[in-house]
Amino acid sequence: MGYFPNGDAGIYYEAKYCEKCIHYGDPPDDGGCPVWLMHLLWNYDQTDNQEIADMLSLFIPRSEDGLDNKQCTMFVEKPNV
């Protein structure tokens, strides 16, 4: 399951992946990314709820060692402009 233990971890992930993805944007202009929104809303709830953890891990899986979040499965890199 993608998990962000603090705001810094979320900011790092957002800069590394989200800001480079075509799905990323600021609401209300384009609605923003639903994957990122789900993680913002349910990140801490997943520690006590396996169904939420399973759902979130479909989008942002953890590394094999469980220490890092891998690239979002919905990631599509923005073309160079």
pLDDT per residue as tens digits for the range 19-39: 999 888 765 556 678 888 888
Every domain of the chain and the residues it spans: 1-81
Map the chain to HEC letters.
CCCCCCHHHHHHHHHHCHHHECCCCCCCCCCCCHHHHHHHHHCCHHHCCHHHHHHHHHHCCECCCCCCECCCCCCCECCCC
pLDDT tens digits for range 2-24: 778 888 988 999 999 999 998 88
Q: What is the per-residue pLDDT across 37-48, written as a single tens digit (0 to 9) for each?
A: 888 888 888 888
Alpha-carbon gap, residue 59 to 15, rounded angstroms: 17
The C-alpha R_g of the chain, in whole angstroms, comes to 13
Q: Give the pair of three-digit tokens for residue 42.
A: 């349910």
Contacts of residue 79, Cβ cutoff 8 Å, sequence gap at least 6: none
> Is 0.85 topped by the overall pTM?
no
